[in-house]
């Protein structure tokens, strides 16, 4: 039995990046041999085990064979006769197909450069050249690998896709391979890519091979759609969207905020041509299109709900410095800010990303965010229990009590923000 460190841990160590998750491959072992040494199996049909002390994953060296055209399941062969090179050959890109010995990473987390590397597919060469290159033609057997390449592009923004890999990805899209991906796998890769340092690179790679038009046509159609240059000096809606996503990454926004940024302007993609570059009513159109995206990809509720309120209200948030106290209170009530203050705070962050994700506005202040947080605090300070108590003593009904609370909040906001 021989154990090797493989994949992302080796890649990141070679790049001088922190190594967090470590993956191990075990060569020359059987499932029973792993059990005899105290390893705990993960699942019934997959040759992966947890180490009895570290709980890290140890996978038996294996090969994979696609079961049938159009179905992306695999027959897995894990046996003592499978070599390390066989296992590395099934991986997606060369920089992830490098292995080394367990002692390659020292106790202080530094990579021992004197350690022998097993690199049959020249991953080190591609790391130096900053290139994503597929390991073998077997890449096309799993179209999720297109999404993985795109996600890695969002992490390593200065890497490029090798021409032969680009051509293969385009062929896979043309052959309808990505049309068979299950929603969970699409969402998993998209959501992880959104959380990388440069999310725009993921969408650039997906667009270049045609996959974005198949997976997220609502997003793909935004490129080439003009906006008013006085509001959007970058003009192109797709370009603006990518600037917004990268601003969200710069501000270290959580996933729900980044997803809301992705979907906030979907309605601009179907604005009638005769009214361009204006986009009247795009907010409601965005919300309708968002619903379809969320259902298709089975987006988690937290992301779905925030994206919906951002799509509907982001324009009103932007204009909130020029409205009355009464309009401010109504805006926060529509956003359900009193019941969900944390979601409202995330909504404001998404709106700031939208405002600053414009050409020449990256360093701009966004006064709407602190101002509306102050409005929320003022509304929260209103003693609604006392208002309800006094109103009930006069025989007031539910709707009347609600109106009295609304009026009290408006008065509190106006007193603090008379301008």
Domains of the chain, by residue range, sit at 1-129, 217-381, 382-419
Residue 228 φ then ψ, to 5°: -65, 125
Residue (of 234, 237, 246) closest to 157 by Cα position: 246
Structure tokens, 169: 């990805």
In angstroms, rounded to a whole number, what is the distance separating the alpha carbons of residues 383 and 389? Answer: 10
> Superfamily for 1-129?
Beta Polymerase, domain 2 (3.30.460.10)
d(CA 176, CA 70): 9
Cβ proximity of 183 and 297 under 8 Å: yes
Query: What are the residue ranges in the chain where pLDDT is below 50?
Result: 69-71
Total Cβ atoms within 10 A of residue 289: 22
What dotted CATH number matches 217-381? 1.10.3210
pLDDT for 68 equals 53
- Using an 8 Å Cβ cutoff, are 132 and 95 in contact? yes
Contacts of residue 44, Cβ cutoff 8 Å, sequence gap at least 6? none
Quick: pLDDT tens for 216-257. 999 999 999 999 999 999 999 999 999 999 999 999 999 999
Residue 372, pLDDT score: 97
**Helices and strands, counts by H and E, the chain:** 19, 11
How high is the pLDDT of residue 71? 42
Whole-number pLDDT of residue 107: 61
CA distance 128 to 37: 39
Q: Cβ neighbours of residue 275 under 8 Å, at least 6 residues apart?
A: none
Q: Round to the nearest angstrom and report the end-to-end CA distance of the chain.
A: 75
Report residue 49 as tokens.
Answer: 């085990």
Q: What is the pTM of this model?
A: 0.91
Beta carbons within 10 angstroms of residue 218's beta carbon: 19
**DSSP of 14-69, one letter per residue?**
HTTPPP---EEEEES--HHHHHHTT-EEESSSS-EEE-TTT--EEEE-EEEEEEET
């Amino acid at each position: 039995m021989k154990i090797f460190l493989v994949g992302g841990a080796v890649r990141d160590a070679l790049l001088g990046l922190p190594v967090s998750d470590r993956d191990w491959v075990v060569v020359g072992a059987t499932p029973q041999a792993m059990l005899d040494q105290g390893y705990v199996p993960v699942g019934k049909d997959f040759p992966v085990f947890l180490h009895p002390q570290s709980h890290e994953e140890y996978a038996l060296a294996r090969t994979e064979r696609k079961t049938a055209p159009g179905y992306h399941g695999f027959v897995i062969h894990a046996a003592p006769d499978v070599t390390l090179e066989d296992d590395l050959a099934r991986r997606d890109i060369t920089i992830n197909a490098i292995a080394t010995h367990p002692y390659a990473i020292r106790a202080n987390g530094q990579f021992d450069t004197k350690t022998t590397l097993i690199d049959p597919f020249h991953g080190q060469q591609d790391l130096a050249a900053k290139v994503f290159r597929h390991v073998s033609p077997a890449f096309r057997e799993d179209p999720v690998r297109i999404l993985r390449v795109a996600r890695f592009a969002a992490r390593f923004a200065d890497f490029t896709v090798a021409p032969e890999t680009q051509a293969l990805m385009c062929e896979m899209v043309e052959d309808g391979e990505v049309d068979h991906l299950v929603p969970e796998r699409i969402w998993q890769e998209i959501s992880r890519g959104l959380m990388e340092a440069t999310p725009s690179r993921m969408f650039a790679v997906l667009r270049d091979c045609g996959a974005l038009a198949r997976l997220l046509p609502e997003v793909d159609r935004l490129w080439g759609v003009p906006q008013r240059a006085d509001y959007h000096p970058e003009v192109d809606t797709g370009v603006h969207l990518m600037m917004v996503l990268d601003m969200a990454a710069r501000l270290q926004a959580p996933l729900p905020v980044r997803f809301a940024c992705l979907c906030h302007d979907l309605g601009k993609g179907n604005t009638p041509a005769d009214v361009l570059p204006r986009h009247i009513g795009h907010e409601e159109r965005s919300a309708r299109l968002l619903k379809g995206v969320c259902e298709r990809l089975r987006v988690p509720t937290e992301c779905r709900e925030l994206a919906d309120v951002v799509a509907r209200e982001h324009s009103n948030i932007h204009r909130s410095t020029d409205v009355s106290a009464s309009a401010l209170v109504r805006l926060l009530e529509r956003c359900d800010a009193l019941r969900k203050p944390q979601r409202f705070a995330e909504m404001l962050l998404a709106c700031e990303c939208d405002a600053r994700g414009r050409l020449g506005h990256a360093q701009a202040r966004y006064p709407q965010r602190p101002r509306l947080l102050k409005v929320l605090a003022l509304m929260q300070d209103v003693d609604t229990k006392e208002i309800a108590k006094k109103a009930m003593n006069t025989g007031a009904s539910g709707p009347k009590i609600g109106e009295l609370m609304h009026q009290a909040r408006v008065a509190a906001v106006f007193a603090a923000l008379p301008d």
